[in-house]
Homo-oligomer: A and B are copies of this chain.
């Protein structure tokens, strides 16, 4: 069994991710936001589990539901809220929107690009750089079920296999791409088989079980690090709120949500930690409270932060 401290940490990061999301959703619903944003609910175990399995020198290209990965890798909630609110203090300095453009190479994070799935080729390039330099580092990239129907997903798996690139691809299968259910996206939801057809090792994991995700990610990353070539992890979960903040997701059957709600990643982890006496409910409650207050503090700081100056419009187009 994994170290107790590590397991409690996983809960703590998930709690912070959830607290961020709850706060963000509430703010945006009440008009305190700017533009749109994407709820993270349902993806906490994946983004935190993978984020924690990565080494400090590994590099991630997270997607729009990987808030946990940003947080685990050290991007502060202040900065992320700063980005969401268009402030000069966000990693994009107000230039990019919501969870896009949260790049910070000093944290090993490449900012998200909207065009699906452009993050994958980028991650392959990162991995190939490590291979080229003989550095024991791994690139970890994230993609939705919807992203796997875009051609670049296959182009990248194929090239990664040819070159045995140290690349781990995490597929966050949350049953929907916007309003489109899995069965309208693909005839076969066995994405592991698609990876294997390219010669990429594939493994499937319960995306709501943070420990399972962590273990799958850790093993995959270590394999890639050791020169074993690329791995794809299919992590199944459910997108619990709409596609984006404006989306009521009326197209999702209520029963489906109710079923998945039973398997909420935070609840699952909490129950397990308590059952296995790794943590008391009180200790976990106190983590939740700490997370909530951390987020309050971040929002306050972000809301107090300045907007960028219009005069800076053309700065930074070129390096």
**What is the interface of chain A, defined by CB distance below 8 A to chain B?**
149-155, 158-159, 161-162, 183-188, 190, 193-194, 196-200
- Excluding A187-B200, A188-B197, 7 further A-B contacts by CB distance (< 8 Å) are A149-B159, A151-B154, A158-B186, A162-B184, A187-B198, A193-B197, A194-B198
Q: Cβ of A162: which chain B residues have Cβ within 8 Å of it?
A: 183-187
Please determine whether A155 and B161 come into contact, CB atoms closer than 8 angstroms. Answer: no
Q: Cβ of A153: which chain B residues have Cβ within 8 Å of it?
A: 151, 154
Shortest beta-carbon distance from A56 to chain B in Å:
30
CA distance A69 to B301 in the complex (A): 68
Q: Cβ of A199: which chain B residues have Cβ within 8 Å of it?
A: 186-188
A153, A187, A190: which has the most chain B beta carbons within 10 Å? A187
Q: Cβ of A158: which chain B residues have Cβ within 8 Å of it?
A: 149, 186-187
Q: Cβ of A150: which chain B residues have Cβ within 8 Å of it?
A: 151, 155
Please determine whether B198 and A188 come into contact, CB atoms closer than 8 angstroms. Answer: yes
**For residue A229, which residue of chain B has the nearest CB?**
B187
CA distance A185 to B158 in the complex (A): 8
Say how many copies of this protein the assembly contains. 2
CA distance A185 to B153 in the complex (A): 16
CA distance A153 to B158 in the complex (A): 12
**For residue A160, which residue of chain B has the nearest CB?**
B187
CA distance A187 to B154 in the complex (A): 12
Partner of A155, one of B151, B184, B194: B151
CA distance A158 to B147 in the complex (A): 12
CA distance A193 to B158 in the complex (A): 13
Q: Cβ of A183: which chain B residues have Cβ within 8 Å of it?
A: 162
The 18 sampled A-B contact pairs (Cβ below 8 Å) are A149-B158, A150-B151, A150-B155, A151-B151, A151-B154, A151-B155, A154-B154, A158-B187, A161-B187, A161-B188, A162-B183, A162-B186, A186-B198, A187-B199, A190-B197, A194-B194, A194-B198, A197-B197
- For the complex of A and B, the 10 pairs showing the least CB-CB separation, nearest first, are A151-B151, A187-B199, A161-B187, A154-B154, A197-B197, A188-B199, A194-B197, A193-B197, A151-B155, A151-B152
Q: Cβ of A184: which chain B residues have Cβ within 8 Å of it?
A: 162
CA distance A196 to B187 in the complex (A): 10
Shortest beta-carbon distance from A201 to chain B in Å:
11
CA distance A184 to B194 in the complex (A): 19
CA distance A162 to B183 in the complex (A): 8
